[in-house]
Amino acid sequence: MVELSTKVAVMITFEELEGIIDVVKNLHGYDVSGYTRSSLKRRVTRIMELNKLDLVELKSKLINQPGFITYFLQEITVNVTEMFRDPEFYKAVKTDVFPYLATYPHIKLWSAGCSTGEEVYSLAILLKEAGLYQRAFIYGTDINTKVLEKAKRGIYSLIKVKEYSENFIKTDPKSSLSEYYTAMYNAATINNSLKQNILFTQHSLVSDQAFNEFQMITCRNVLIYFDTNLQEKVLDLFYDSLCHLGFLCLGSKESLVNYKNAGKFKVVNKKHNIYQKIG
Amino acid sequence: MERKILLLGGSAGGFSVILNIIKALERPIQRPIIVIVHRNPKYASSIEDTLSKALLQKVKTADDKETIEDGTIYFAPAGYHLLIEPDYSFSLDISEPVQYSRPSIDVTFESAAEVYKENCAAILFSGANHDGAQGLLMIKKYGGKTYVQDPLDAEVPIMPQSAIDLNAQDKILSIAEIKDYIIQLT
Ligand SMILES: C[S@@+](CC[C@H](N)C(=O)[O-])C[C@H]1O[C@@H](n2cnc3c(N)ncnc32)[C@H](O)[C@@H]1O
């Protein structure tokens, strides 16, 4: 372990990290071996800092303290998200994807790795604006049950939501974001009418299978936390979960370039990584 | 062959210095260079393209899971932290800003430290916050070489000075000395 003299900051080594990955897998049955080592190292180090633990103490808690593994798994994921993150992407969804979705009597969407729900509500708002919401259903899934609870509540800090409305304006909306939430004190609560056709539920991209067939899947800023093998596996899962001509939307730094089945997808929007299953 | 790396981190007043140094390179540098500068995602510019055309070597934005190649200059993408994997590839990360910055210099420096150990060299340039100091210290702890731009030379001395306050540097260099140092790497 490398200790920095000035702060109490510690940083575990990659070797020590492998030891922790083994404990988590062999003792608890959770496989995090497909996650990128560099990010895991930061997250585990952060858990140790927050709880003032050294490596021995961390391992002992993982082994002996009931419930610590749940906390550990919640804290190793990065849950940072926004409403209408990358407004240009949402604009592209409206122009490049929605006209196709409009041809279906029922539209099923899946936001995989939805974190605290902001992405799901963003999609819901766009669907409402386009008059598609009544025939749409959005599944928001994540491995982390703690963020899913927050997603279900749909209560966000008013200051943040005010920032999100600036993102929203950049999507050329017909409405104002304030039409979709109720403000009280410092909190903005998403309106129930927007929650009707949404289900937040746990699903692990590492260990769970396809559970439905979708016209559109968004998985943004999740694949960057996976190594290339796991990325490949998850993209296969998305392929299997899309209907013919269904859309796959990735994050602004995620693409299919290294995917072996990239040829089964058409690039709909290169800049915003929107793909359509054609093969 | 052992893989080596040169990391350049800068913020206010540092970006232009780094660009000038890169532009002045007459011969390609063998080892990969990674540049981490704080830039506004809104103006996430095409500086990489411009440089790539002007220089004899490849300049690009680092992509997720891309293998780090010799002879290439990589820029950290705006809005993401840039991490380095033990297999010498990049990973991107969208976790909270560090020192109000994403990309954060600390994050990339810290992540390079163990991967490259004594084959890591890093230079911290002018800037208006404390980003980079902790990372530089981590590189030093792992046996890498650490340099800071002389605060007297820097447009905004806060960043190099905070590294000096931690004694994170092997040497304090003037801009001219930094140029010489980089040229001897070509
Ligand atoms: C950075 S957030 C992305 C949130 C949102 N999609 C966005 O782009 O703003 C990444 C999310 O992926 C989730 N995640 C990580 N590993 C996962 C897995 N194996 N299965 C499902 N979700 C996972 C994390 O819990 C986290 O909420």
User: Which chain B residues are Cβ-neighbours of A7 within 8 angstroms?
Assistant: 134
Pairing of strands A274-277, A265-269: antiparallel
Query: Does the N-terminal peptide bond of residue B103 adopt cis geometry, omega within 30 degrees of 0?
Result: yes
- Numbered residues of chain A with Cβ closer than 8 Å to any chain B Cβ: 2, 4-7, 9, 11, 13-14, 36-39, 41-42, 78, 80, 221, 223-225, 227-228, 231, 252-254, 258
Per-residue tens of pLDDT for chain A, all 279 residues: 555 544 445 789 999 999 999 999 999 999 999 999 999 999 999 999 999 999 999 999 999 998 999 999 999 999 999 999 999 999 999 999 999 999 999 999 999 999 999 999 999 999 999 999 999 999 999 999 999 999 999 999 999 999 999 999 999 999 999 999 999 999 999 999 999 999 999 999 999 999 999 999 999 999 999 999 999 999 999 999 999 999 999 999 999 999 999 999 999 999 999 999 999
CA–CA gap between residue A198 and residue A229 (Å, rounded): 31
- Angle at alpha carbon of residue A109, lines to A105 and A111, rounded to 5°: 170
Q: In 10 A of CB A163, how many CB atoms?
A: 14
Superfamily designation of domain B5-183: Methylesterase CheB, C-terminal domain (3.40.50.180)
Measured between alpha carbons, how far is B163 from A247 in angstroms, rounded to an integer?
Answer: 48
- At B24 the pLDDT is 87
Give the domain ranges of chain B.
Answer: 5-183
CB pairs A-B closer than 8 Å: 73
Q: Which residues of B touch A41 (CB under 8 A)?
A: 111
CA distance A213 to A107: 10
Classify residue A84 by its DSSP letter. T
CB contact burial B13-38 (16+ within 10 A = b; e otherwise): bbbebbbebbeebeeebebbbbbbbb
In contact, B185 and B31? CB cutoff 8 Å: yes
| Strands (DSSP E) found in A15-68 | none
User: A87-154+190-277 sits in which CATH class?
Assistant: alpha beta
Q: What is the ipTM of this complex?
A: 0.94
